[in-house]
Structure 1
Amino acid sequence: MDCVALFMLLFLPGLHWTAAEETSWTYTGMVGQSEWSEHFPECGGTSQSPVDVVTTQTKYDPALTPLTPLGYSQHGNQPFTLYNNGHTAVIELPDWMSLGGLPWLFSAVQMHLHWGNGGPSYGGSEHTINGQSAEAELHVLHYNSELYPNMSAAMTQRDGLAVLGILIVTGEETNPAFNNIINYLSRIRHANQKVFIPAFDVQSLLPEDLGRYYRYNGSLTTPPCYQSVIWSLFNERVQISKAQLLKMETILFSSKAGDPDRMLLQDNYRATQPLNHRAVFASFTAESGKELTSGEVTAIVIGIMCGCVGLAVIVRFIIKTIRSTSSWDVLTNNRPAQMQRMKEPEKAIEKQQEMVLNSTSQAEKREERLSPQTKP
């Protein structure tokens, strides 16, 4: 990368490049978001970023292969530069880091963060999914090094830039990878301050699944809003702790060290822009299911095991019941013979009664025969 391009990067706050400081822009105020297009015409274009990704309206594209970071983990011994440009914290990256999985090879330039204000209002990320924002967002910027000699030449071309968008949510656990940045923010509290930090594995900041993402053509999210970005927004979120987010939201100032009025650097995210008939493609289908965390996978495995144990108990109970029923049937089939034996005494009594009756009848008959002889 030549010296001119390197100098320009020092004034590249997030996803923008201020060619001159004649017009000082902000997220709110006199030259806030609603006034950007008056001073930077491309900010009023029809292919602006960020956008709201409505998942039911995305189009599956099987040609979208997993993205491949090249050299992200091979940081070597050369330190990174961390810089407060008054709009965000920028980490400059060596141009031998690059990104594969796109139509061209894109060399890394820098990465930066967007966040909210730590208040009750929910927001901080630039992109949203189904209208829901995350607490923060990480962008990793690359330029098309196959077609253009440097960043300054590529940034105005429609196929000149490629940016990775990573949505950040909060949880209880600390993310060690993000501490490589957050732990040094106290050294660049004011605008225009710079510090060298130890190099680290940049890929550790990314989601584990680099194959599930949304793709669309858009723009830089800050002035001059060049519409030259191939966006890849990952479906999987990255988690940091609440303490890490709070430090990010409250430690930096957008004002310079000598300014009498300190201004906290907060809410440095742009509102979502209209799609204007642009298509948002997905590298995965809805049928492939949502991304599962390791905890969710563990819960599913435990649930399946418990279900198998429960099923085995039920089957055992059914078999035991069937066997018990079969034994009862055998006993029932034997009972008529037992009843037959129980009725034998009754038959003997009936026979005796019949013999008594017969004897009585014979006696009566003899009496009748003798009765005429005994008459006077």
Structure 2
Amino acid sequence: MDSFNLGTLLLFFFLHWMDGTDANSHWTYKDMAQWSKSFPDCGGVWQSPIDVETSALHHDPSLMPVKVVGYHKPAHKPFTLSNNGHTVKMSLPACFRLRGLPWKFTAVQLHFHWGRDWDGSGGLAGGSEHTVDGRRSAAELHVVHYNSDLYPNVSVAQSQRDGLAVLGVLIETGDDNNSAYENIFKYLEFIKYAGQQTPIPSFNVRSLLPTDLGRYFRYNGSLTTPPCYQSVLWTVFAEKVTVSRTQLKNLETALFSNSEKDPKSVPLQDNFRTTQPLNQRVVLASFVPDSITRYTLGKLCAAAAMVIILVVKVKQFKEHDKEQQQDTAFKTDPDPEKLEAPPKVEA
């Protein structure tokens, strides 16, 4: 009897532990507000993605163009394309690396985020994670690397403050097919369901990136999916890439988030996290964005009013006699909106 009770008790704790494990490993984009309950880092203050507000960027002339090593050479082995229930992911060989950062970063994988029924308006139907001045793009590509100078693998690196570097590529739509992205999209039919994977021929991965790797935004952030570790040095390129509307439609409709055995299929769509508060973080730009030197309507109106005031003052000034003119001096206040020296982003 005692042994029976002991066995029952052990079974209870085992099942309870299994339930807790499943709860911690399972998440969806519909319960984003609940992520932090199972994954505490998701409630951190340095979360990603963010809205890149170009008028608030700090230009850092020391930021050099991103250097990708090995990307342009097709690998000796096929890439593995998989559906993990949250996104479509493609493995990358260890010979793909990033240089120009404080450490050497080795590529691990790339994946996509998208929405549904994109109409090009930049609204909620778009699926990019990062936004620029509040505008969402059609989709987004992330290329994930880990700090191979300091850590043996991505599993160890991902939870370390300086562990990861991710390239973000914003995707828009046009009329013409993008042949580089078709190297991936044409195989989506083989990974329709979660847990499926297929080998695909290797190709020039550099062709997935923008032409200009010298114009980008950089900030410290996190993984955009659980466990949301705040370990990512983000590089989001200013130049966007374009795929055809047909290609995007294929990405939006080809995949399901459930396994093939499930009786009900759930389309894999809207797999993007909403933008997170910046919380005093500094976002650097490797170039001078137009909006930094562009005047807002309010500033233009204020400048126009100042001009009118000055014209009136000059007219009044000319009406005074010469003695009064000699005693009169115009004084101008310093520009109250003069920018301070930009702080540096911690690598």
Aligned residue identity for 1:27: Y
Matched, 1:108 2:111: no
Q: Per-residue deviation at 1:119?
A: 5.5
Matched, 1:56 2:55: yes
Name the CA distance, whole Å, in 2 between partners of 1:194 and 1:69: 26
- Match of 1:126, SS state, is coil
Aligned residue identity for 2:84: N
- Match of 2:206, SS state, is helix
Report which of the two has the higher share of helix.
Answer: 1
Contact 2:86 2:257 in 1 (8 A): yes
Q: Per-residue deviation at 1:75?
A: 2.1
Q: Deviations over 1:267-324 (max 9, x none)?
A: 000000000000000000136999xxxxxxxxxxxxxxxxxxxxxxxxxxxxxxxxxx
Match of 2:245 in 1: 242
Match of 1:182 in 2: 185
Q: Deviations over 1:157-183 (max 9, x none)?
A: 111000000000000011000001000
Q: Deviations over 1:12-37 (max 9, x none)?
A: xxxxxxxx644310001xxx101001
Q: Per-residue deviation at 1:117?
A: 1.3
Match of 2:228 among 225, 235, 253: 225
Name the CA distance, whole Å, in 2 between partners of 1:105 and 1:27: 32
Q: Deviations over 1:199-242 (max 9, x none)?
A: 01110000000000000000000000000000000000000000
Match of 2:213 in 1: 210
Q: Deviations over 1:337-362 (max 9, x none)?
A: xxxxxxxxxxxxxxxxxxxxxxxxxx
Name the CA distance, whole Å, in 1 between partners of 2:183 and 2:27: 29
- Match of 1:112, SS state, is strand
Aligned residue identity for 2:172: V
Unmatched segments (≥5 aa) in structure 2: 1-20, 294-347
Matches within 5 A, 1:19-98: 21-23=22-24, 24-28=26-30, 32-98=31-97
Name the CA distance, whole Å, in 2 between partners of 1:288 and 1:57: 9
Matched, 1:142 2:145: yes
Q: Per-residue deviation at 1:63?
A: 1.3
Aligned residue identity for 1:71: G
Distance 1:103 1:193, change over 3 A: same
Matched, 1:283 2:282: no
Contact 2:55 2:292 in 1 (8 A): no
Q: Per-residue deviation at 1:101?
A: 1.5
Distance 1:116 1:288, change over 3 A: closer
- Match of 2:287, SS state, is coil
What is the aligned length? 268
- Match of 2:145, SS state, is strand
Q: Deviations over 1:86-124 (max 9, x none)?
A: 000000101111011211110000000000011664320
Kindly report the root-mean-square deviation, in angstroms, between the aligned alpha carbons of the 2 structures. Answer: 1.5
- Match of 1:69, SS state, is strand
- Match of 2:169, SS state, is strand
Aligned residue identity for 1:227: Q
Q: Deviations over 1:39-94 (max 9, x none)?
A: 11000000000000000101001111000110001123310000100000000101
Name the CA distance, whole Å, in 2 between partners of 1:187 and 1:162: 30
Unmatched segments (≥5 aa) in structure 1: 1-19, 291-376
Match of 2:195 among 192, 198, 203: 192
Distance 1:238 1:21, change over 3 A: farther
Match of 1:269 in 2: 272
Contact 2:118 2:126 in 1 (8 A): no
